[in-house]
Amino acid sequence: MNRVVTLSEFIVERQADFPFAKGELSRLLSAIRLAAKVVNREVNKAGLVDDILGSSGAENIQGEVQQKLDVYANNQMINALRAQQEVCGIGSEENDEVIAFDKGQALWGKYIVMMDPLDGSSNIDVNVSIGTIFSIYRRKSKAGTVATAEDFLQPGLDLVAAGYVIYGSSTMLVFSTGNGVNGFTLDPSIGVFCLSHPNMRVPKDGRMYSINEGNYRQFPEGVKRYIKYCQDEDAATGRPYTSRYIGSLVADVHRNMIKGGIYIYPSTGSNPDGKLRLMYENIPLAFIVEQAGGRATDGKNRILSLTPEHLHQRTPLFIGSKNMVDKAEAFMEEYSSTSAAVKNEN
């Protein structure tokens, strides 16, 4: 029987991979791991608990109704990170403003964490997979001071680690510190994450495309043409491809990480920058997918090379198997100048 490697053992063994001081990453990841387990416990009993299931009545900065579990997950993550004192600031999709700790040891924390504590939360009520997405940056400002905007608005190229937790048929934590991607499955009987998917690689080609086709009429011409390409018959390339859209980004990306595929959330007429947030969703997932050999762009530019201008910024996202993203980008390029009149005819 193979020896089971737990997440804690793995982190200790791989500390040399982390370019900065030893121990800090372990403490940070163990805070995230702990919060993930607590959120997982609540997610699993969501259907049982009246005051957890359903909406909290509040709206977040994007004007979306917050689900109670979003608020719960947000608080758990913040509390766990605050307790570790390695972090001087946290940006969360659920908070209008950043949290910059202004007293105590946290002022000396060297890291910033950006997160979407519970992505896909509209799926909670219907028992569909949801996820937590996080990314870790090194602060730019001086330790001992309150973190500033330049600490929070860093490009993905400056990331030091990122990951996601998927609360699915099993719960997994997948992360990268820039040396490949590893996935750990929670063994609920002992409450321990065990290495189940070492060195994850996104297949170079895939046969699945994921997009909310209900918005078809509002898509850029390049995306419309790419969808048609996916639906065309061509035995040589295995088309038509299969359409799979869970509507839960972590779940769609995770499936494509394992089976190959592309996820697209393009600009639409009503959301010219797409829906997904650069800092909380796109950058961390782009980092992981690239580390696994895939690609992530906004249809033109590499997601990781974009410098965020504001906290809750959105960008289009094309992410997944390298050859599929290349192809979709080629369509975007070819039809970039198609006029609005032509677009509306399709």
Q: Which residues of the chain form contacts with ligand AHM (CB under 6 A)?
A: 64, 93, 116, 119-121, 212, 247-249, 275
Instruction: Return d(Cα 70, Cα 248) in angstroms, integer.
Output: 14
Q: What are the backbone dihedrals phi and psi of residue 159, each rounded to the nearest 5 degrees, phi first?
A: -60, 145
Whose CA is closest to 36, among 196, 167, 194? 167
> In the bound complex, what is the minimum distance in angstroms from residue 17's beta carbon to ligand AHM?
29
> In the bound complex, what is the minimum distance in angstroms from residue 343's beta carbon to ligand AHM?
20
> In the bound complex, what is the minimum distance in angstroms from residue 205's beta carbon to ligand AHM?
22
Instruction: Return d(Cα 132, Cα 23) in angstroms, integer.
Output: 23
**Which residue, 7 or 208, is less far from ligand AHM as judged by CB?**
208
**Which residue, 139 or 254, is less far from ligand AHM as judged by CB?**
254
Residue whose token pair is 């202004």? 102
Select the binding partner of residue 248 from Mg ion, ligand AHM, none (C-beta < 5 to 8 A, by kind): ligand AHM
Select the binding partner of residue 249 from Mg ion, ligand AHM, none (C-beta < 5 to 8 A, by kind): ligand AHM
Radius of gyration of the chain (CA): 20
Whose CA is closest to 152, among 89, 81, 79, 85? 89
Select the binding partner of residue 321 from Mg ion, ligand AHM, none (C-beta < 5 to 8 A, by kind): none
Q: Give the SS3 label for residue 342.
A: helix
**Which residue, 94 or 151, is less far from ligand AHM as judged by CB?**
94
Residue whose token pair is 């979407």? 116
**Which residue, 224 or 277, is less far from Mg ion as judged by CB?**
277
> In the bound complex, what is the minimum distance in angstroms from residue 168's beta carbon to Mg ion?
16
Taking CB positions, which residue lies at the least distance from Mg ion?
119
Strands (DSSP E) found in the chain: 55-59, 65-67, 87-92, 99-100, 111-119, 130-138, 159-167, 171-176, 182-187, 192-197, 208-210, 242-243, 262-265, 295-297, 317-320
> In the bound complex, what is the minimum distance in angstroms from residue 257's beta carbon to Mg ion?
19
> In the bound complex, what is the minimum distance in angstroms from residue 192's beta carbon to ligand AHM?
27
**Which residue, 27 or 312, is less far from ligand AHM as judged by CB?**
312
**Which residue, 203 or 284, is less far from Mg ion as judged by CB?**
284
> In the bound complex, what is the minimum distance in angstroms from residue 199's beta carbon to ligand AHM?
26
Instruction: Return d(Cα 89, Cα 115) in angstroms, integer.
Output: 11
**Positions that interact with Mg ion (CB under 5 A):** 116, 119
Whether the Cβ atoms of residue 250 and residue 164 lie closer than 8 Å to each other = yes
**Which residue, 89 or 120, is less far from ligand AHM as judged by CB?**
120
Residues in the chain: 346
